[in-house]
Structure 1
């Protein structure tokens, strides 16, 4: 069972994601294009491709197609019926569908661990590295502009990664904001 807080963490861990409201629902968008929202009765709505929607419905039989003006645009699934890992995957797929191509390509490169100017310490681990690259923070100088709380809010960044980052920043005469 997942919560709105977990959805929020998964969505806001993706580049240029903003939280707002849409028809009174908590909603997430990338550059003004909505990709996920939560209904008042606790169902997550995700804008997915037909293939991703079919896979989501096969994995979550309590879900239903999300249709706008006769056109299928995604799925609606009770948040309580989705585990955390599946939710992260669905949110990411919805984000990729709505994000501009260049931004999506940058995240794909970050996921692959290929950022040309990255200087993050390898000891933080692959999930933290992907999270930081995905959030547009490939260098320690950029990480220094964030607070510990902001880093911990990124999906994949934990206390150990923050401690290692803080040590690397201290070695360069920098610190977290």
Structure 2
């Protein structure tokens, strides 16, 4: 597996296809709620984890990339995605929007999605490593940066193992229990 920044419209469509399979088809999130204006903000960084030959098994396709249902992993197939939002002054992810107490003035990691077939393979960690490093490089001061995210409660153990601490009360987003969490990312 390798992680790459999304640099082309085709790559962005692959990221959206992974998110569609995970969030819309698997979790029942509304199609309207899955994408937002921040997806195309030039300050937003998306990444993809792509399968290599060693990762391949079975045969499969995901919606948007052939119209099938995943039944395996093929070389070159996108396995996971996520995005890094730049600090911003609007309230898109601030208090009062249903997204807890996150501070829009700090970088925010979101829309982390891993295909069912790729869970437990390290694909999610590759996404987080890439986005945390990008946050530190782009927005770090004195070798550190606070990063926040909105995590589905079932994923909190994954984020806690990575050093994230939940804060604030839980809340529903698209009918799914969430908590906000933060981590101080430092140079390794």
Instruction: Please report the TM-score for the alignment, with normalisation by the length of structure 1.
Output: 0.28
The structure having more radius of gyration, on CA atoms, is: 1
- Please state which structure has a larger fraction of its residues in strand: 2
